[in-house]
Amino acid sequence: MLLQTRLKTLSNPIRSLRAVGALALPVLLMAGATADACTRAVYLGPNDNVITARSMDWKSDILSNLWVLPRGIARSGEAGPNSIKWTSKYGSVIVSGYDVSTTDGVNEKGLEANVLWLAESEYPHFDGKGKPGLTIAAWAQYMLDNFATVNEAVAALEKEPFTIVTDNVPGEDRLTTLHLSMSDATGDSAIVEYIAGKQVIHHGRQYQVMTNSPHFDDQLALASYWQQIGGTVMLPGTNRASDRFARALFYINAIPKDEDPNKALASVFSVIRNASVPYGINTPDQPNISSTRWRTVFDHKRQLYFFESALTPNTFWVDLKKIDFSKETGKVKTLDLGTNQDHTFSGEVSGEFVQHAPFKFLGLSG
């Protein structure tokens, strides 16, 4: 899901991928058959109880670990001399990919950012001039470092302060193509995609669910179709992105709006597990359908960030209120999750992180 060890040139050719037609329902229903699979869903409950869940589906070990990143870290867009620069305004807890990118994470203000695969993504041309570059590996981290709410993030993105820079997935001959979702403690959401080289933002509480292909506009068309049928009549059951989207959207709104936050949390876990792909599954005619490797669930109100690996029996969590995110005394720390995230943890684990040098986001200067 990340960049090569070094991007080949400053002017990356954009690979044109055929968009799915929004009105062609049979095509829509097949969309995502060849895309690596992830799902994200936001629960909007009573008493301002907002919970965001996501699954990470990938065909091999994505080398994920948990990291604590305090305020005050100076960062670069890692896109060569013309890179965007910033210093982290907010502390965050993130899940890395290959320890060179942020694939999922939350900050101390209750903002969550997730990146999911979108094969149809087409990013702007970047030649090292004009707008500064931002490596796609740090796209989610830029959001967590700089913004407390989705509204703030969207207002900044609408000014297009950077150009996303991307290249092939490590060891593979395919472009790293992602879209970004954000949610916050108010229940606000945003989906950010690049279509034909142009940034497209969907902003609002109604955008609760995102999977992979097709483009989000087409996912909304799917939502309209399945809402007419009704989830109690029939729901699609395969592991394709379009089917997972339909199930997640129905269930995230069908589960009880329980006053007990622990019961609400249990319901949300049930939804994201329902949208997961069984570990070790092999789909010969759809080689990129991938096993779910881990899941995260974030209770925005209580600031509890849960992690669940497919290979361990326990779900554990980080209480962000127990972490020192300050610039003066906060430290970069990591929790080693092991190969395939097979290390077992239990309960609240903020005290088990160990100090570590920060990882470097992969990009042109990587």
Number of C-beta neighbours around residue 74 at 10 A: 8
Contact 126, 11 (CB under 8 A): yes
Instruction: Supply 18's token pair.
Output: 């055929």
Q: Which of 349, 351, 332, 347 is nearest to 99 (CA)?
A: 332
Q: Is 38 a catalytic residue?
A: yes
Catalytic choice (28, 31, 38, 51)? 38
Which residues are tagged catalytic?
38
